[in-house]
Amino acid sequence: MKSSEPVFNVPAVVVALVASFVLVHLGRLLLSDEEDLAFVLRFAFIPARYDAAALAVIAPGETLPGGLAAQVWTFVTYAFLHASVTHLFVNIVWMLPFGAALARRFGTLRFLAMFVATSAAGALAHLVTHLGELVLMIGASGAVSGFMAGAIRFAFEPGGPLENWRAVTPDKYFRPAAPLPVVLRNPRVLIFIVLWFGLNLVFGIGSSIVPGVEQAVAWQAHVGGFIAGLLLFPLFDPVGAAQQEDRDPDSDPMLR
């Protein structure tokens, strides 16, 4: 008889990622306002960083810290910064279930690669929609959105972890994923996607009509991360469609 998956059995890599978010936020609280601003400018994602001419117009005589190296690392480091405790808490709440589902299936290395890819995709979407603008973006929402999209590639499949949430056994996380066209014909997947995009549309409209708030919610990054998670899932998925459905996760070191 197979045992059910414990409710609070969160993979270590997810716990470590969440802990890093918390530690970074706590560390920033120890900085002065000037030090914190310098830290954020160095590690946040800022479209103006990639357009010297635009930055010269927006902030004459000013430069952004980090130089050329920051143009690379900020595609990921922005995800470790959060604007407030609420912002941090919301991302953690959503990361725990969806991130845990992917981490159980992918293993540590593939999961971290997925985190980097979806974070970068979110940053790229923000860059394309805010070319040359001094619009700082921070938060793990892009990656979390990617985790959501990745999880629905297999979670709603017959025998998957969301088929019967009351009896989630470890083997359910290793069910072969259907091709994307098949997944997109699943009514539950379609409902999830429609609701997800609807909520982000509301966030986008709401953040643009609140006086004094400029892009409070980086919804474009959410969309970029989500699409990346949906499309790139097969590149990280270790469970091939031709593999047996009762695959033992201990048989593959990448799944441990």
Res 60 pLDDT > 70: no
Instruction: Point out the least confidently predicted range of 32-36, 114-118, 174-178.
Output: 174-178
pLDDT of residue 236: 94
> Reduced to 3 states, what is the DSSP secondary structure of residue 84?
coil
CB 177 within 8 A of CB 157: yes
- Residues 94, 77, 33, 37: what is their CA dihedral angle, to the nearest 10 degrees? -130
As a CATH number, domain 12-255 is 1.20.1540.10
Burial 58-88 (b: 16+ CB within 10 A, else e): eeeeeebebeeebeeebbbbbbbbbeeeebb
Band of residue 215 on the pLDDT scale cut at 50, 70, 90: very low
Residue 231's identity, in one-letter code, is L
The CA distance from 86 to 88, in Å, is 5
Token pair 């992918």 in the structure block, residue: 106
**Which bin fits 195, alpha (ψ -120 to 50), beta or left (φ > 0)?**
alpha
Token pair 């293993």 in the structure block, residue: 107
The CA distance from 65 to 59, in Å, is 13
User: Rg of the Cα trace of the chain?
Assistant: 19
Compute how many other C-beta atoms are within 10 angstroms of the C-beta atom of residue 21.
Answer: 19
pLDDT of residue 155: 84
Summarize pLDDT for 112-161 with one digit per residue, the tens.
999 999 999 999 999 999 988 888 999 999 999 999 999 999 888 776 67
pLDDT of residue 57: 66
Average pLDDT over residues 46-62: 76
Res 249 pLDDT > 50: no
Domain ranges across the chain: 12-255
Token pair 């974070």 in the structure block, residue: 119
Band of residue 254 on the pLDDT scale cut at 50, 70, 90: very low
pLDDT of residue 148: 95
Average pLDDT over residues 212-236: 83
pTM: 0.83
